[in-house]
Amino acid sequence: MSKKVLVLAETREGALRNVSFEAIAAAKQISGGGEVVAVLLGDSVSEFGAELVNCGADRVITVEHPHLKSYTSDGYGQAFMAVIEQENPEGIVFGHTAVGKDLSPKIASKLQAGLISDVTTIEGEGEDAVFVRPIYSGKAFEKKTIKEGITFVTVRPNNIAPLPREERSGEVSSLVVDITNLRTIISNVVRKSAEGVDLSEAKVIVAGGRGVKSADGFAPLQELANLLGGAVGASRGACDADYVDYSLQIGQTGKVVTPDLYIAAGISGAIQHLAGMSNSKVIVAINKDPEANIFKVADYGIVGDLFEVVPMLTEEFRKVM
């Protein structure tokens, strides 16, 4: 049986997030030849409709309201439930993002539905879809299915390949929803994350730990990241020591990332850090301690002083790129 699957599309800094394209690909697989309907919520979002269609959505529904400018679980909850009532979907896919993590359990609860969170792989399609997700801080995996009711999942960014973009046509319609009684008022958002590259979507990450020893120590890491078109990340150790802002933290508490290349410099490899990066495709560890735990998950390791190794690596890449 083919399914109608809703996708919550998200924007950030005036552009659609990659995870939304990945969620559309996941929805396509779950739909088993059915229909994928992307949902955009915000104060002014209809301009993104066409791009979602080109990325695989069959239709797009927008709900625009001044109360949807900032995310609140009440506002988004009311809007998304109204879309569900209109569409009666058999599946829902969210990104496993701040918004997706916060909203999905509420929607699942309202639907008295199961929810499989933080999916990294989908095997099979349609009725036969099986969902793989990491458990135990990434030390193990489980395969899950929905027993009854709607198929509702959140997908971890950077794990499911988006569909190829192509010029397509699809309806972009709007739904009017009365958003009332918001119990949360957002007074301010202090932006700490760097403009531009979104860590959870970066293809290359150069991450530093307590071994980087100072804020200035991050400069050579930044240089390497810039050269490779990537972003700088950090361990909790480096954030706690004030070398970089917490917004760069990778791990269980921080961002969960799955880049093609993760270079860890001066990071010991605590389980809480590994939980955020062990799914990376290729991991390089640079650490002066040959016994450091990070070498256990690394594909390639250099035992040495990061202050020597990182600049040499930048030089070497510069020669060949």
Partner 1 sequence: MNIYVLVKRTFDTEEKLVISNGKIQEDGAEFIINPYDEYAIEEAITVRDAHGGEVTVITIGGEEAEKQLRTALAMGADKAVLINTEDDLDEMDQYTTAYILAEYLRDKNPDLILAGNVAIDGGSGQVGPRVADLLGINYVTTITNLQIEGTNVKIVRDIEGDAEELETSLPLLVTAQQGLNEPRYPSLPGIMKAKKKPLEEIEIDDLDIDEEDVEPKTETLEIYMPPKKAAGRILEGDLATQVSELVGLLRNEAKVI
Ligand X SMILES: Cc1cc2nc3c(=O)[nH]c(=O)nc-3n(C[C@H](O)[C@H](O)[C@H](O)COP(=O)(O)OP(=O)(O)OC[C@H]3O[C@@H](n4cnc5c(N)ncnc54)[C@H](O)[C@@H]3O)c2cc1C
Binding site for ligand X (CB under 6 A): 209-211, 235-238, 249-254, 266-268, 270, 272-273, 276, 286-289, 292, 305-307
Pick the stretch among 32-40, 47-55, 100-108, 169-177 that binds partner 1 (CB under 8 A).
Answer: 100-108
Q: H-helix or E-strand containing 59?
A: strand 59-64
**Residues for the chain: how many in total?**
321
- In the complex with partner 1, the residue whose CB is nearer, 161 or 282, is 282
Determine contact, residues 20/95, Cβ cutoff 8 Å.
yes
84 vs 246, beta carbon nearer partner 1: 246
What value does the CA radius of gyration of the chain take, rounded to a whole number of Å?
21
Separation of CA 16 from chain center: 12
How many whole angstroms separate alpha carbon 248 and alpha carbon 234?
6
Q: Judged by CB under 8 A, does residue 245 bind partner 1?
A: yes
Which of 174, 252 has the CB closer to partner 1?
252
Tell me which residue of 88, 65, 73 sits closest to 178, measured CA to CA.
65
| Closest CB to ligand X among residues 140, 320 | 140
Query: Of residues 281-320, which lie at the interface with partner 1 (CB under 8 A)?
Result: 281-285, 290, 295-304, 308-309, 312-313, 316-317, 320
User: Which among partner 1, ligand X, none contacts residue 134 (Cβ within 5 to 8 A by kind)?
Assistant: partner 1
Compute CA distances 133 → 121, 137, 232, 289, whole Å: 7, 11, 26, 32
Outline where DSSP puts E strands in 200-252: 204-208, 231-234
Among 173, 186, 215, 289, which residue interacts with partner 1 (rule: CB under 8 A)?
186
C-beta nearest to ligand X: residue: 251
Amino acid letter, 232: V
Reduce the DSSP state of residue 127 to 3 states and report it.
helix
Place of tokens 């921080």: 254
135 binds, among ligand X, partner 1, none (CB under 5 to 8 A by kind): partner 1
Nearest distance from residue 209's CB to ligand X, in Å? 2
**301 contact, one of ligand X, partner 1, none, CB 5-8 Å limit per kind:** partner 1
